[in-house]
Structure 1
Amino acid sequence: MAAILEITDLSIAFGGHTAVNRISVRIPEKKFTSIIGPNGAGKTTLFNLLSGQLTPTEGQIFYKGQDITKQSTTKRARMGIGRSFQITNVFPNLTVLENVRLAVQSQAKVRYQMIAHFKHYKKFVDQAMLLLERVYLDSKAELLAANLAHGEKRKLELAMLLALKTDILLLDEPTAGMSLDEVPAIIEVIKNIKAEEDRTIVLIEHKMDMIMDLSDEVLVLFHGELLAKGTPEEIIENETVQSAYLGGMYDEQLA
């Protein structure tokens, strides 16, 4: 199976602490890969390395066969690597529609011009509305993003990532901070994106039922190292994973 991302001996140390230690893994194209592990396992640090927020101490990152280890976050985004954060990253004082329209316009490499007639941007508005329909926010298009509920802001962030036509979506705990009522809606949006089979999705998440339902492959990190990888079923049955990570805290969920 073709790999869209390949990580080779990736490491990063902060002072005397090695947060990610010689991880080597291939992320298959157009599949759903989840990353799990206890707090401090190195999950978000690995995401920061993949998206360019951090530069590794050692190792390399290849995207579609190209070495991107030292490429900036902006350059990686332009190449097709999109990243969502645990904290929402939207423009609160713009409407929901304008947030997505600007993302569509950015992807089209068209800058805003004060003297241009609004009809000049109609095609971008139309595209933005289609994206809002995909994340079930079309009815909230004229609201300020600041007035959305937390779960709705996460859906807006996903619409903005889709507008950028990214090949890879790096989703860092998309359900973090949500109420129980909000979680099913964001899971449905992610399921729909997966069903289209035109993007690679890499997810960090603690909810094991979500991992089991969505994942094609699961990576388990422990103390900054890759402890195991396999299908969700293989990970649940893996005794090393059970003893090192899943034992205790997740016993009831895995029963």
Structure 2
Amino acid sequence: MEPILRTENLTIKFGGQTAVDNVNFEVPEKHFKSIIGPNGAGKTTFFNLISGELKATSGDVFFRGESLSGKSSVARTRKGIGRSFQITNVFPNLTVIENVRLAVQSKEKIRYQFFRHFASYKDLHIQAERLLEIVLLTSKANAFATQLSHGEKRKLEIAMLLALDTEVLLLDEPTAGMSLEEVPAILDVIKQIKQTGERTILLIEHKMDMIMDLSDSIMVLFNGRLLADGTPKEIMDNETVQHAYLGGLYDEHLA
């Protein structure tokens, strides 16, 4: 079966430095894959190449077998690849439910009519309510976005991403900047999304307990190269991965 997403010799160079180096990977549909690696391993750059925010020096990204070469980040989102927290059209002075409804409306390509009362958009409102249930923000539906905590804003951004009906979610350190008290809530949201079984998820995260709990498989990047890819147990038992995280030399394993 064709993977929903794969890369072929994906590479990007900045001057004389290779940030992502000939990475070949694939992920099946409705699979949860985490991406780990030390700081500077190229994880976020890899996401940026998949989402189209950066242009590859060489290689390609394929979505459902179709090359995405030359397609913008907007075009890739429309295809079905959503990058977390890249949604910038959050209206701080609108309520949470209104923000999500507008995202749903954007996906449905329904133009906003200034003199039309929001109640007439009943179907869109129902969809927005369902998404707020998934991200556990129902109780904040009528709060203004400016009133949300940092963690709640992340939930809102995920809801807006889901509203675009993306099939693949790229979640880049969703717990970054959160207080310890907020982390369990975002973890519950990600679990909720996984349990729906509707989407493929790629996660970059440093919290290993979170990764081990959620992941179907884990890939490891080191110095821009794919070091390992396997089940959580295979990765944790991999001596090369252990050496990489401990700062050991591993070049001989990649020869």
Q: Deviations over 1:92-118 (max 9, x none)?
A: 232111110011101111010112233
| Residue aligned with 2:6, SS | strand
Q: Which residue of 1 aligns with 2:34?
A: 34
1:140-159 mapped onto 2 (5 Å cutoff): 140-159=140-159
Deviations 1:189-213 (A, max 9, x none): 1111111111100000000000100
Aligned twin of 2:112: 112
Q: Which residue pairs with 1:253 in the alignment?
A: none
- Structure 2 vs 1, CA of residues 108 and 146 (structure 1 numbering), >3 Å: closer, same or farther? same
Cα separation, partners in 2 of 1:194 and 1:156, compared to 1, 3 Å: same
1:19 has 2:1 as partner: no
Q: Kindly tell me the number of residue pairs found equivalent between the two proteins.
A: 248
Deviation at 1:2, TM superposition (A): 3.8
TM-score (normalizing by structure 1): 0.93
In structure 1, the partner of 2:253 is: none
Deviations along 1:207-245, one digit per CA (max 9) or x if unpaired, are: 000010000010100000000010111000000000012
Match of 1:243 in 2: 243
- Note the alpha carbon deviations across 1:133-164, whole angstroms, 9 max, x for none: 22121111121112100111111111111111
Q: Report SS of the residue matched to 2:115.
A: coil
Instruction: State the distance in 1 between where 2:243 and 2:217 align.
Output: 20
Paired with 1:109 and 1:91, the residues of 2 have a C-alpha distance of: 18
Aligned to 2:133: 133
Flag the 1:246–1:187 CA change in 2: closer, same or farther, 3 A: farther
Aligned to 1:207: 207
* Cα distance between partner residues in 1 of 2:118 and 2:184: 37
Q: How does 1:1-255 map to 2 (within 5 A)?
A: 2-85=2-85, 90-246=90-246
Aligned-partner Cα distance in 1 for 2:112–2:188 = 33
TM-score if structure 2 supplies the norm length? 0.93
Between stretches 149-158 and 129-138, larger displacement belongs to: 129-138
Q: Which runs of 5+ in 2 are unaligned?
A: 249-255
Alpha-carbon distance between aligned partners in 2 of 1:87 and 1:168, rounded to the nearest angstrom: 15
Give, in angstroms, the shift of residue 25 of structure 1.
0.8
CA distance in structure 2 between the partners assigned to 1:173 and 1:246 by the alignment: 21
Q: Which amino acid aligns with 1:197?
A: G
- Provide the rounded CA distance (Å) in 2 between the counterparts of 1:201 and 1:246: 28
2:87–2:160 contact (8 Å) kept in structure 1: no
Shift of 1:28: 1.4
The Cα of 1:88 is off from its aligned counterpart by 8.1
Letter aligned with residue 137 of structure 1: L
Instruction: Structure 1: state its 5+ residue gaps.
Output: 249-255
Judge conservation of contact 2:87–2:157 (CA < 8 Å) in 1.
Answer: no
